[in-house]
Amino acid sequence: MLVLALDTATPAVTAGVVELTADPTAPPAVRAARIAHDARKHGELLMPGVLAACAEAGIALTEVDAIVTGTGPGPFTGLRVGMVTAAALGDALDVPVHGVCSLDAIAVEAAAGSPTGNLLVLTDARRREVYWAAYDREARRLTGPHVETPAALVARLPELAVVAAAGGAAEQHADLLGLPVLAPAAPSPAGLVAVAADALRSGAAPEPVAPLYLRRPDAVEPGRRKRVSTP
């Protein structure tokens, strides 16, 4: 099975072609990947990355059997780019689209480097906050995703019993967290497909893909205009 993996929940714009076999013990094999870093150009960079990854993998886009997309948490505009692109391609190619938590995709790879305890995954949420979730040594999510300030997260660390951190905001706040920082900083094609592997192999219809925004949008519907009284 050839799977197209996309994620735009972080400043990294991720696209890749991953081969997944029916063997549940075989990890996803990346045929090609394109990862660019520009938080302001998700829309411009994603489809060129998709086409470049397909070309490197030696396949046409029409040969993709399924699509996996990160659903965040992430900023509104960037996150929508990946999810809308995945939905449009799934409809055009008539293939299933599976959504996975982007933090889960980071955790499944990082957990291999933290076999002795729980793992913290955090990414930049802007506004001086972070998105985060905690995982056990098997990359099973224990709590989250949440959004809050780094200081508030640090206050929770004793109860979380984490021994390492991963994700783009982990290195940024490494001194505050006081934890070893593991790779990766952003979801990879292999990590995204690994999270969805059981669903992909089963052939079950995917659940509706829903974004994990965790915040209300900044834009609000304008209120009713005030009535101007006449003299």
DSSP string, 61-114: GGG--EEEEE--S--HHHHHHHHHHHHHHHHHHT--EEEE-HHHHHHHHHGGG-
% the chain with pLDDT above 70: 92
Question: Cα–Cα distance between 3 and 149 in angstroms, integer?
Answer: 35
How does pLDDT run across 6-22, given as a tens digit for each residue?
999 999 999 999 999 99
Q: DSSP assignment of the chain, as one string? A: -EEEEEE-SSSEEEEEEEE--S-TTSPPEEEEEEEEE-TT-HHHHHHHHHHHHHHHHT--GGG--EEEEE--S--HHHHHHHHHHHHHHHHHHT--EEEE-HHHHHHHHHGGG-TTSEEEEEEEEETTEEEEEEE-TT--EEEEEEEE-HHHHHHHHHHHTEEEEESHHHHHTHHHHT--EES-SS--HHHHHHHHHHHHHHTPPPPPP-----S--S-----PPPPPPP-
Backbone angles phi, psi at 12, to 5 degrees: -80, 135
Architecture of domain 103-182: 2-Layer Sandwich (3.30)
The residue extents of the domains of the chain are 2-101+187-202, 103-182
Intrachain domains 2-101+187-202 and 103-182 with the same fold: yes
Distances (CA, A) of 24 to 58, 114, 133, 215: 25, 22, 26, 36
Please give the pLDDT value at position 216: 54
What is residue 63's predicted lDDT score, i.e. its pLDDT?
Answer: 98
Residue ranges in the chain modelled with pLDDT below 70: 114-115, 216-231
Which residues are 133's β-sheet partners? 121
Question: What are the tens digits of pLDDT across the range 54-102?
Answer: 999 999 999 999 999 999 999 988 999 999 999 999 999 999 999 999 9
CATH of 2-101+187-202, one of 3.30.70.2860, 1.10.1370.30, 3.30.365.10, 3.30.420.40: 3.30.420.40
